[in-house]
Structure 1
Amino acid sequence: MKDIWNLQPETRIVVDANQYGQPIGKEASKLAEFLGTIARTGSICPLNTKHWKHLSKYVLENILRIVHEKFDLQGKVEDSDILSHVGNLRKEFKSTLKTRYYKEMVQEGRPIEEIYENNPPGVHDDQWKWLVERWGTPQAGAQSEKVKESRTKVRYAHTARNIGYATLNAQCAEKEGREPSRLEQFRFQHLRKDGSDKLNSEASEQVYDEACKMVKDSMPTLESSFAPQDNIVLENEIYTQVFDPDKNGKMLGYGRGMTKSRLFGYGSVTRGSQSTSAISTLIEKMSAKHVEQIQTIQAEQAVQEKTLLEEAESRFRTEAAERETHLIAEAEERFMKLTEIQEAKFMEMMDAREKKYKALINECMAKGMSK
């Protein structure tokens, strides 16, 4: 990160974003890492407040100023998303500090003064002391137990690593020429790290197979007549039935900052709020479209059959006429040849008779002269 912090003035890293304002591509990872350093720097992002929203306006504006000095977001990424991301990273950093520098010492029964002295590198003394005092309150303890319980409910650990859901989705969209469905997102976000086509856990495999079966069973017989967007809508609907509903307006599988209102449009009906009847309505529409397409195909086939029949009949008549003409010409030719043969034979016969008569006359004349 030093190279980013030490960038020359007026030099910024250009970060691309998708249509939802989420950073994507190689530079998105750099941005995420840079925001992490901000969240871990107490002089920029203080740790001694309970909630992110309690930070002063000056602190928030300063964070945005630093980010925009180092990165060109091209006006595609909202400042609120940047601050929200830093807030989440700040929360994660607090959790890491608590695990590494606080919990073990408390379990060992160390005195509070010794815990104060176990200040993590880079964390301001006053902020560390505030954190230690905060973690020791009953409210913080109850919150910690609640977080532990939530973590036990995570059944499908993703394998996106530091690439980010938004970048993975963008890569899939570029490859397929369309946005992936939520079911497709779940699959490539939970593939094994060894590069195989299998999912990373038996639970993931089972729930994915169940969802795929529901999609297949919900489709009419001829899937080939469906438009791709119809399949995507159906897969998204099935996804909300199989997996836990999206909570707090967040959309699972889309990455940080994605909300229902952003994905589907403000004021629109979201996927998570649609009931099973919506799926039935969707299937009915798709079935009606399927029937309409079959009727269109049948009408086209009837026209095509009629055209082929007319072409065959015309071809037959033409060939019959040509055959008849050929036979007549062939018969005439044979008749002429036969006539010529007969004439030749008749002439030969006449010549033979003439020769015979001449010979007879000559013989008679010869006999008469001899007497």
Structure 2
Amino acid sequence: MKELNIQTIVQEANSSHAHQRKKKTNGNVAAERTEAVNEHPDQQPDGDIEEQPKKNVRGCTTKADIFARQNKPKLEVQVNERGQPCWSSSTEFSNFIGALVRTKGFPVAHDDWRKVCPKAKWRLWTDAQLYWKLDASVFNWFMKTTPIKWKEFKSYFRKLYDDDMEDNKLLALCDERVHEVEWKWLIDHWRSPEAAAQSLRGKESRSMLSQNHTSSSKSHARVDHELGKELGHPHAEMNCLSKLTHTTTLPHKGAERIINALKDAIRDHP
């Protein structure tokens, strides 16, 4: 077995399970997750993403403040050597991409991102450039993030659907951001045997999840960047592990076991 050589763990604390968290005084804020941005859309399973359960969340982010900046200086987003946004603006940029995908007129009547018109995908990129200073270095990350946001958007609508609902009730649920003809396509798609099988696979996959992601809205790229600044130098990926956890709540049993194992590894292999 290869010897462990873990240099540091930062921000020692305990991770928490969702139902054990203390309620914040200003309410819970649902952060959009972009942890899967390193996955190419061609490698992702067809169908809608089964999102992790959320409680006490607000509505979809609109980013109206950014869309109102069309005649103002463009916002900046810094990226690392892999083209991934890594500064404090990265969360804002990721949320903005989600808002772009949710704009009325962007096609949702497809069961696979690869079937979406390339011109529509390209328009997302050019529209983003109206508000952000973007160059070719971030293009690949942008195009890998958009299908994730697209699938999450469709998953939101899928939760409104019920096999026992009548057509008139389903049609009345049509969201203002979706054209009626595309909403009808979604209903027909959800009723298909293929979509039903995909939904079942998603539920089975979700049932095997032991604990939720708890690193808030920060991406791995941003955590990596901030850790490098704290250490004073970029750290090597293979011999340095960072642990970012909440500090105000009780640990999740599964996370507690892993964290204790890491502490033992650091003690035994300084």
The structural deviation recorded for 1:210 is 2.6
Where does structure 1 differ by over 3 angstroms across 4 or more consecutive aligned residues? 180-183, 211-217
Letter in 2 for 1:20: R
The structural deviation recorded for 1:126 is 1.3
* CA deviation vs aligned residue, 1:257-312 (integer Å, no higher than 9, x gap): xxxxxxxxxxxxxxxxxxxxxxxxxxxxxxxxxxxxxxxxxxxxxxxxxxxxxxxx
Match of 1:213 in 2: 264
The structural deviation recorded for 1:75 is 3.9
Please identify the structure whose Cα radius of gyration is greater: 1
Match of 1:192 in 2: 246
Letter in 2 for 1:96: Y
Q: Is the 8 A contact 2:104 2:176 kept in 1?
A: no
What does 1:272-311 correspond to in 2, within 5 Å? none
* Matching residue within 181, 189, 209 for 1:154: 209
Q: CA RMSD in A?
A: 2.3
Aligned partners of 2:218 and 2:109: how far apart in 1?
30
The structural deviation recorded for 1:127 is 1.4
Letter in 2 for 1:179: H
Aligned partners of 1:153 and 1:179: how far apart in 2?
33
Q: TM-score, normalised by structure 2?
A: 0.69
Distance change in 2, residues 1:192/1:98 (3 Å): same
Question: Within the alignment, does 1:57 sit opposite 2:105 as a pair?
Answer: no
What does 1:218-257 correspond to in 2, within 5 Å? 219=269, 223=270
* Matching residue within 186, 204, 210 for 1:131: 186
Q: Is the 8 A contact 1:21 1:76 kept in 2?
A: yes
Q: Is the 8 A contact 1:14 1:74 kept in 2?
A: no
Aligned partners of 1:42 and 1:70: how far apart in 2?
18
Letter in 1 for 2:222: T
Question: Within the alignment, does 1:13 sit opposite 2:75 as a pair?
Answer: yes
Aligned length: 206
The structural deviation recorded for 1:130 is 1.0
Query: Any stretches of 5+ residues in structure 2 without a counterpart?
Result: 1-62
Match of 1:303 in 2: none
Aligned partners of 1:53 and 1:24: how far apart in 2?
27
The structural deviation recorded for 1:181 is 5.2
Match of 2:225 in 1: 170
Identity %: 21
Q: Is the 8 A contact 1:159 1:193 kept in 2?
A: no
Question: Within the alignment, does 1:140 sit opposite 2:195 as a pair?
Answer: yes
Q: Is the 8 A contact 1:169 1:180 kept in 2?
A: no
Match of 1:320 in 2: none
* Matching residue within 82, 90, 108 for 1:47: 108
Question: Within the alignment, does 1:122 sit opposite 2:177 as a pair?
Answer: yes
Match of 1:203 in 2: 254
Aligned partners of 1:170 and 1:23: how far apart in 2?
10
Question: Within the alignment, does 1:98 sit opposite 2:158 as a pair?
Answer: yes
Q: Is the 8 A contact 1:48 1:131 kept in 2?
A: yes
Q: Is the 8 A contact 1:16 1:73 kept in 2?
A: no
Query: Any stretches of 5+ residues in structure 1 without a counterpart?
Result: 224-371
What does 1:65-76 correspond to in 2, within 5 Å? 65-76=126-137
Aligned partners of 1:93 and 1:140: how far apart in 2?
16
Match of 1:26 in 2: 88
Aligned partners of 2:136 and 2:229: how far apart in 1?
22
Distance change in 2, residues 1:171/1:42 (3 Å): same
* CA deviation vs aligned residue, 1:159-209 (integer Å, no higher than 9, x gap): 222232221221111101232757733x21xx1252x7x7x4110110232
